[in-house]
Each structure stands twice: as structure tokens, then as C-alpha cells.
Structure 1
Amino acid sequence: MRTKPAESRRTAGSSSPDSLGGDELGYDFRIGSSRQPLLFEVKASQGEVGQIELGESEVPTAQRHTGSDRWRILMVTSVPEPSRLRVAMLPNPFSPRGRDLYQEEGGALRLSYRL
């Protein structure tokens, strides 16, 4: 099962233009007003097991933040079934915490997960 990015990038963050990310930035929104805010990429799936596909701007952004633990994935699962919907914060796949959580799945960067 493949995941798709969240439909709306503007609903997850605050209304401040500074909190919004974008495809070219490698994240969907950021939280925190400090010099090192948390950066979140939102992914969604139909179930609790599937694949996450990171885009061409997401990979280098995640790699740049490997040591800081600032870049994270918000995984929204079971989207078609609101009673089972779940949001989980997953670590950066390039970070020490994330390396053992994911399994690479092919030529593009596709990662398997199980919640």
C-alpha cells in the first residue's frame, strides 16, 4: 500500500506564514519559534502497514537534519476509517533512532513501517 502526502499543507500548522513548509523545502510545516524548530513531513495511508515515499526535496532535508532530530514524519493511518484513524510521530529515517525502524524498499527511497 503506498502512502500519499496529506491533501492540505496549510491545515496542520499555525496560520503564520513562517510555520508553513512546502515541497521545495522538504517539509510540510514547522513548530517552534526558536532558531531550531521541529520540521514535520505529513504522510497518510489507508492502513497501519505500508510504505512511505520521500520526495526529492524531502530526502536531502531529512539528511541535513540527521544529527539534530529536528526533521520528523507525522504518519496518519487508516484515513478511510475515522474511528481507526491514528497519528504517529516517526523519527527521521536517517537518524540513529530511525535507521532500525525502517526498511528500504527499492530504487526510490521507499520505507516500510509497522505501527
Structure 2
Amino acid sequence: MHRLAGAQPGDDRLGYDFLIHDGDATYLYEVKASIGNSGEFDLGASEVRRASHLKLDETYFIVYVSHVFDRSRRAITVLPNPFAEPELAGYQLISTQMRLRFNLD
């Protein structure tokens, strides 16, 4: 559970870490951090669901923090929604994962 100063606790089920309302627009941000600068990150099911199902007034971003534990090398890069047009918005799909359920009866 996450909490911003003076705010309600966060909810990982929302699929984003914070949002900003600016007039008629809403910006949703998902933060991903790396101890290095691999340029890779995983999106969980709630993040995929939210990023791929936006309202017309919503824009989704990934905020990538590289070298998160090294103050002198740390960098923040704002990336586009991987589900925006064109397909994958310039990302390279590294792997896919499936969670399956079946009935033993």
C-alpha cells in the first residue's frame, strides 16, 4: 500500500500510481524503477487493464526511474502509454505471461 503525504492510501488494483486532473484532462502515471538502466519493466495485470482501457479524457504514462539507488546517476524518463497508437508506441515486447485456471472436476 502506498500513501502520498496527506493523502489516502494507494490501491495497486487501480493500475496507476498517481493521477493529475488538469481541467477536462486526466493524466495517469505508473512509476517503474530499476537499480540499473536496463530499459525494461513489467506491467502487472491491473496496469495492463487500465492502460488499455482509457476514457477519452485520460492519458496514461509510464515514469521510468533508472539507477534508483544511485543519486548521482538517477534519471527519470516519462514514457508513452504502450497501448497507444501506433501499436506498442515504440516499445519492444520482451516476453508475455499468462495466468490460466482450469477445473479439476
Q: Do they superpose with TM above 0.5? A: yes
Q: 1:88 to 1:97 in 2, by over 3 A?
A: farther
- Root-mean-square deviation (Å): 2.8
| Structure with max Cα Rg | 2
Q: Which amino acid aligns with 1:30?
A: L
Structure 1 runs of 4+ with >3 Å offset: 14-17, 33-36, 66-69
1:62 is matched with: 51
Output one character per residue of 1:62-88: Cα deviation in whole Å (capped at 9) or x when no partner.
001287661111111111211000111
Mapped partners of 1:91, 1:27: distance in 2: 13
Which TM-score applies when normalising by structure 2? 0.75
Q: 1:21 to 1:98 in 2, by over 3 A?
A: farther
SS of corresponding position for 2:17: strand
After superposing the two structures, state which structure 1 stretch, 61-70 or 50-59, moved more.
Answer: 61-70
Which TM-score applies when normalising by structure 1? 0.69
SS of corresponding position for 1:89: strand
Return 5+ residue gaps in structure 2 as ranges.
Answer: 99-105
- Higher relative contact order structure (alpha carbons within 8 Å, sequence separation ≥ 6): 1
Among residues 3, 7, 11, which one is paired with 1:10 in the alignment? 3
1:95 is matched with: 84
State the number of aligned residues.
98
Mapped partners of 1:58, 1:49: distance in 2: 20
Q: Give me the identity figure in percent.
A: 36
1:27 is matched with: 16
1:113 is matched with: none
